[in-house]
Amino acid sequence: METQERKIDLFEVAEIKLSYSTKVKSSQRPRVASSRQVYEVFAQAWDQDRIEFVEDFKVMLLSRANRVLGIVTISSGGTAGTVVDVKLVLAAALKSASSSMILAHNHPSGNLLPSEQDKRITQRIRKAGEILDIPVLDHLIMTAEGYYSFADEGEL
């Protein structure tokens, strides 16, 4: 019985392409200049049926002119928390060629104050963004009735 051996080509690798395509002209993208405007854009993108139900973590990706390139949901969790993978946050920012980013997550409880875990993940993402020259401009905690801005409160 004859066995077939397959030769492995050590130089055969997967091709990786980096691309970004948009269907929205730059002039039509919303521009954000305050935490209130950021809250309003996030609120439009948030599923209002979930904001008091489960915790979601989203990232707003911005151009150099603070125009919104897009909003990506990084994770969705339970009623008391969600796991945030810093690598996914930065992968989205890099893939979209973002100049900066704004973080947001909701508290289904309605409590607007940040937890210690909220502060830690903000600092981890901020430090990672600094290395890649993609600063975190703010982190909002969202509820159905309002928001808390880390930047407005001097936490960034």
Q: What is the DSSP string of 18-73?
A: -----SS-GGGS-B--SHHHHHHHHHHHS-TTTTTTS-EEEEEEE-TT-BEEEEEE
29-149: CATH architecture: 3-Layer(aba) Sandwich (3.40)
**pLDDT tens for each residue of 83-128:** 999 999 999 999 999 999 999 999 999 999 999 999 999 999 999 9
Higher pLDDT: 133 or 5? It is 133
∠ CA(43), CA(138), CA(143), 5° rounding? 35
Question: How large is the average pLDDT for residues 61-82?
Answer: 93
Q: Model pTM?
A: 0.86
